[in-house]
Amino acid sequence: MSSQWIDLAMEPWTSPDLEGWLVLPLDTPPYFPPSDIVVLLSGGSDNAFPQYSIGGDPSTSIVSSTHSLNNLFSNPTPEQLLSGRIDYRCVYIFNKNSTLELKNLQLFTTDPVRENGGQILDVSYAIGDSIATEVQGIKINGTAVSGTFKLLVGSQLTPAITFSTDAVICSNNIQAAIRTLVGISDTVSLADVVVNPFTSPMPMPSSDPLRPSDIYYYTISFLGAAENRAYELMQIVDSTLVDNLSQSVYANVCRLSLGSPINSIAPQLDSDIIAPNGVAFFTTSEASPLIIAGVLQPTDIVPIWIRRTITATGDSWATQSITFKIRAMAYMP
């Protein structure tokens, strides 16, 4: 497995745009073209307007890389300068390379730079993201006494899992079966997935035929190398679960917590001055970047929030730029 540190600089004119540079020689394998990291607006696939890049699905529009004005944030109005303002933008980092993975993204911004003179305005930027562990639940009708089932995890199928009315034994059987899978790749293993009996009422929709009083349920936590990413909901297949009358019993999978940030979808804000829930923001620098743990595989995305804080002042707005840099380790799986 070869690797290479790369730096990508997004040089904005009142917001980011994209320029790439490498800190190792270009002949150091594997060469990851800086253009293969794409920064997309949010706001839905058809959104082409930076002012609406405030969460929701990724857009097909790329954040401008030609030093265009207001390519992410708009200029504040005189009224906003007097009162101060905090506003937000959400972009997606997209690995469009067809073969190489990116590990441990490091994100940071430089201090704002004034262009063409102008009075100094007190403005700062922070970067944020939401970190969560993917947790799914398996629910089996409480009348089950025996049988087996398999789990479809992405495109992989587990071996047959033997059901047991002993919750600990059944949890161990589920965990062992999932851990036999190869994972998403060599760097995103399922070897640390943990399965436990669920010990408190499981949230269930009103349409669900199973109630907490008549159910076996187990939690599956995607930990270790599988952490910090969203997963497809697993499926129960090839079930032979039966009750003491040899009648088939009901079983399904639900999601208890959506993993993030990798492959998650940022919440859509109603306004760009509303803070996104569950996002922690950090003032960053090259020495103290925001680190996104995990692996960005080919076609993976990760949402990133940027917060701009303008301190109340009567100063005029001078054209400004910041540099938003992305650093990562490139891997050949």
pLDDT at residue 9, as a whole number:
46
Residue 36: the pLDDT is 85
- DSSP secondary structure letter of residue 61: P
Rounded (10°) CA dihedral 99, 62, 293, 231 = -70
71 DSSP β-pair partners: none
The full set of domain ranges for the chain reads: 3-130+264-331, 135-257
What spatial distance separates the first Cα and last Cα of the chain, rounded to whole Å?
Answer: 6
Evaluate whether 109 touches 127 at the Cβ level (below 8 Å). Answer: yes
Q: What is the predicted pLDDT for the residue at 328?
A: 82
Confidence (pLDDT) at 28: 43
Instruction: Give 218: exposed, middle or buried? Use CB within 10 Å, 0-12, 13-18, 19+.
Output: buried
Listed residue (109, 116, 103, 114) closest to 89, CA to CA: 109
Q: How far is CA 81 from CA 50, 175, 238, in A?
A: 20, 56, 63
Residue carrying structure tokens 């949230």: 203
18 strand-pairing partners: 10
**Overall pTM > 0.95:** no
Q: Hey, what amino acid is at 247?
A: Q
Note the pLDDT of residue 239: 96
- Positions of the chain with pLDDT lower than 50, given as ranges: 1-28, 67, 119, 210-213
pLDDT of residue 35: 80
Other Cβ atoms less than 10 A from the Cβ of 86: the count is 15
